[in-house]
Amino acid sequence: MSLSVTNSLSLRIYYGQYSTLVKSANRKDATAGTLSFADASALRNAVRKLQDYKFEDATDAEIQEKLKAFTDAVNSTLESGSKYSGNSSSVRNAVSKIKSLNNEYASKLKQIGITAEKDGTLSVYESASKLYSKEKFSQFFDKDSEYLNNLYTAAQKITRRVDVRI
């Protein structure tokens, strides 16, 4: 899986204190543990921020950027978690859970312009924000979303089990 991380404002916000790891050049020098922790933390932040986001008040470009940042956070978590998983069965199980969630919810993701690939990674349609209503995004990213809450829990397991020194 080749990862292309988008350097967006949302993604930098999701990464918080690890925002330098949004850039591919900085990721090369980080330990597997640091990347896995940072990526899973970013995914947790993405889930919570999107659940609070007011899609109705956003422009199409803002929504598209949020969708891309979300899929990047998921994909980064899968990639770094897979690299780290040799050090922890808990991390390996959490990565498997994220992949299975993405595949289980593939049809619902598709309804907002996100495709779940066979390997569990996500991609977003280039014009998803124009093709789908803002109401669909609000409904999908709702606080009661089982998918997002399970995704958050899996990412949380990674952050709890990763040793950033490795």
Average pLDDT of the chain is 93
**Residue 24's pLDDT band (cuts 50, 70, 90):** confident
Q: Region 41-66: what's the mean pLDDT?
A: 96
Q: How many CB atoms lie within 10 A of CB 4?
A: 7
- Higher-confidence position of 126 and 163: 126
pLDDT tens-digit readout, 95-112: 999 999 999 999 999 999
**Residue 6's pLDDT band (cuts 50, 70, 90):** low
Q: How many CB atoms lie within 10 A of CB 26?
A: 14
**Residue 7's pLDDT band (cuts 50, 70, 90):** low
pLDDT at residue 141, rounded to an integer: 96
pLDDT at 87 over 70: yes
pLDDT at 129 over 90: yes
Which letter, b or e, does each residue of 50-71 get, where b requires 16 or more Cβ atoms within 10 Å of its Cβ?
bbebebeebeeeebbbbbbbbb
